[in-house]
Structure formats: structure tokens, C-alpha cells
Amino acid sequence: MKLITVIFLSLAFLLNFPTASKAHTREDLQAFQRSIIDYRWRLNPAFKKVKREKTSYIIVHTSELGLKKTLRVISLGKRMDDRRSTQGGHTHYVIARNGRTFRILDKKYEADHAGLSMWNGEADISKVSIGIELVGYHYTPITEHQYRSVGMLIDILQGVYGLEDRAILTHSQVAYGKPNRWIEKNHRGRKRCAKNFIRAKAGLGPTWVYDPDVRAGRLVADLQLAEVFYGRKEFYAVVDEANIISKSNTAWSIAGGDYDSRTTVYKFPNGRTYTGDQIAATVGWNRIPPQTLVLLSQETSKELIKNEGSIKTTSDGLSAWSFAGKAYNHKTTIYFLPSGRIKYGSMISDWDDLPASTRLIIGYRGPYEIRKDQTAYRIAGKKYKDGKTIYYLPSKKLLVGNKIKEFNQLPLGTLIFLPSR
């Protein structure tokens, strides 16, 4: 008997079996559970609660939005087009970028989170799974706070439902699409959701090394996702500026099945914006210029249009990341908070912590203060009336140089910011 145990343990060691080595203590888990914010009161009353009969999987998503809008869309529903909207209940839990966790729907009910989906021959994964939304984008890093919270949440749920580590999958793994203009068969790749989820960081061990539905011929693989999830290389996802169109980064590889949706917005390098449903008729799918920015889950492109120029304004749908990308925390990205405070990117812990209506300028240095002995001309030289020279008035107004008529009337204490290059 003893010998058998020894052999088994050696085998387990050699084969690298999953061992119960989760890092959380019971106290950690209890404290985490108490910290979950109950957000069920916000659920759309039209959402129909149906008890789930079976729980086979936990599905991890990235919300592709900031926190405020994620909570709204997930709880109340999303506008699909001018008339239709969904009825909310789009996940069980939301985890903010600072790790704060919200309960959207009691875990015993079915959430409408996976859409057209299949795993190991079983379709409609929403009916047999729990959904967890991580606030953020599939092309930005998930935060350490989020990994800590999602790790503990998964640990608790695994205990409740008796699930192994391989029962934890991402939405991009289980979603599939019907044939479209890019692919003739049912296929993976409809969603890119949580393709940046690094399992080990959430304390998860071994998982599927192949896609069972692709292997069985039920679906066609998506090459990019297959590389991420089943490739030999360890994948540390985040390609630079991964929501920008290039030869290798197509509309399809950024937006998946949402490529032609009216909620996907394409911002061309010349400043023009189009929604996904306009591209075919007005531009043509082969003619999207490189450097086009692709934004998912937008409800309106009007926000984008009013954000032309050097001064950008964040909103529910447009985060500091949407404008500045990786430069959001550089010291040359300067934020003007609604409170009147000025912060450099290097003072920001995460782009999602900034309130809506924060204004920002990217690639700037300053401030240089207008004083009696220091005029705008002394500070900026001939560029003082340039469209790229920024003036921050004591009234909190931000102006660009070419919109100012009377420079003599600028109050003392006005701050000037100049392009850093």
C-alpha cells in the first residue's frame, strides 16, 4: 500500500499532475467573499431569471469597456441597433481593474453571457456555465489586482460546483461564428474576449491542449487564437497597440465577429470615423488604411467625432487607453481632472481610475505659467498661436492657441503646455 502511494506520488510529480496548491487561505477567501459588492439591485427588471440545471464551466471575459459602462451594459443590457436592445444579466460577476468585485446576478441563475458557443460538442455554454467579466480590453494587460480577485473567485466557485482547472475557459475559446465573408464554415474567432488571460496568474493549472470541437471537425480553427491557447510557445499576449490595423492585424483579428457591427468604430488616420456596418458600402473591406484605430462596444461614434484635435475628453465609452494606448501612464500624457487637478500619466495607477470627462493631451511638456514678466510669446515663441499649443486657464478652460483671439487678455496664472517634440 505504502509502495503504491510512493509510486503514485512519483508519477504525479513526473507527469506534473495538478496538485491542490492554490495559494489562498480560508481567511483570504472569506474576506474576499465578504468584500463582493452586491449589484443585483441594478439588474434589468425585464431579465428573466431561469435556474441553471448544470454547471460545467466558468467562462472568463474581458468587457472591452471602462468600469462604469461595463456595469451598466452588463446589468441593464446593450443597445444592438436603433430599436433592439438586450435585457441585461450578461454575467454573474464583474471584476474592476482595482480588483473590486461585483455580484450582478445570483450564481444559481443562467446569465446571457456566451452567445453562440460550443465546447466539447455541447452547445449554448451560457446554460451550463458561470460568467466572469474582467473590466478591460482583450489587447491590454489584465491587472494584478484582477488576477488576485478572479483567482479567489474561481477557487470558491470550483469548490461549490466541484470543477477542475480545465473547466475554466475564456469566451474566445468557446464562442463560435456562423459562416461569413471571411470564413465559409462554422468557426472559432467570433470573439477575442479574454485572449490575454494568463491562467497561471490566476493560480490555474493544466488545461486543454487542443480545441475538442476543432479536432472533431465541428468547427474551423482561428489561427491566432489557436496559437494563443494551444500553441507551444508561452503566450504573453499583448501586442503593442493591438487595436490598430496593420498587415497582420486585420479588422477580423481585432474585432472578430463584431467586425461589421455598428458598435465597432473605425477611426481612420485622416480622422474620419465609420461604424462597422458602413465600411462595406462606403469604403470596402480591402481598403481600410493601416493605422486605423478599432474600438469595440461603442454605442455611438459621435463621441469620437467631437474628440478631434489635441484635447481629448474621456467618457463612458472612451477611456484614456482609447486615446493614448500604452502612453496613458507616460509623463508626457497630461490629465486635467474635473476637480481641476492636473496629473501626469506617471502619477496614474490605471487608466480606468480616471473619472469620465477627464481631459487629456498626449505628448506634452509643461506647465509654463503666464506671468507679468513671462508672456505667451516668451514661453512658446512663434508657436504661441499654434493649434498644438495648449492653454489652461484658471477657470479650468482648455484652449488651443489658434482659437484664442486676444492674447493680452489671458489671465495671469494661465498655464501653457507645449508638444514635447
Which residues in this chain contact Zn ion in the complex, by CB under 5 A? Answer: 61, 171, 193
- List, in order, residues 6 or more apart from 108 with CB less than 8 Å away: 51, 52
SS3 call for 357 = coil
DSSP assignment of 243-258: TB--SSS-HHHHHGGG
- List, in order, residues 6 or more apart from 153 with CB less than 8 Å away: 32, 93, 95, 101, 132
**Nearest CB to Zn ion, comparing residues 297 and 389:** 297
Angstrom distance (rounded) from CA 237 to CA 172: 13
**Nearest CB to Zn ion, comparing residues 167 and 361:** 167
Q: How far is the CB of 268 from Zn ion (least distance, A)?
A: 27
**Nearest CB to Zn ion, comparing residues 139 and 336:** 139
Angstrom distance (rounded) from CA 150 to CA 164: 15
**Nearest CB to Zn ion, comparing residues 193 and 334:** 193
Judged by phi (left if over 0) then psi (alpha if -120 to 50, else beta), residue 136 lies in left
- List, in order, residues 6 or more apart from 234 with CB less than 8 Å away: none
Q: How far is the CB of 171 from Zn ion (least distance, A)?
A: 3
Q: How far is the CB of 324 from Zn ion (least distance, A)?
A: 25
Q: How far is the CB of 70 from Zn ion (least distance, A)?
A: 11
Q: How far is the CB of 191 from Zn ion (least distance, A)?
A: 5
**Nearest CB to Zn ion, comparing residues 125 and 360:** 125
Q: How far is the CB of 87 from Zn ion (least distance, A)?
A: 17
- φ, ψ of residue 95 to 5 degrees: the values are -120, 115
Angstrom distance (rounded) from CA 298 to CA 280: 19
**Nearest CB to Zn ion, comparing residues 115 and 366:** 115
**Nearest CB to Zn ion, comparing residues 22 and 61:** 61
Q: How far is the CB of 167 from Zn ion (least distance, A)?
A: 17
CA-nearest of 70, 259, 296 to 181 is: 259
Q: Do 32 and 153 touch, CB atoms closer than 8 A?
A: yes
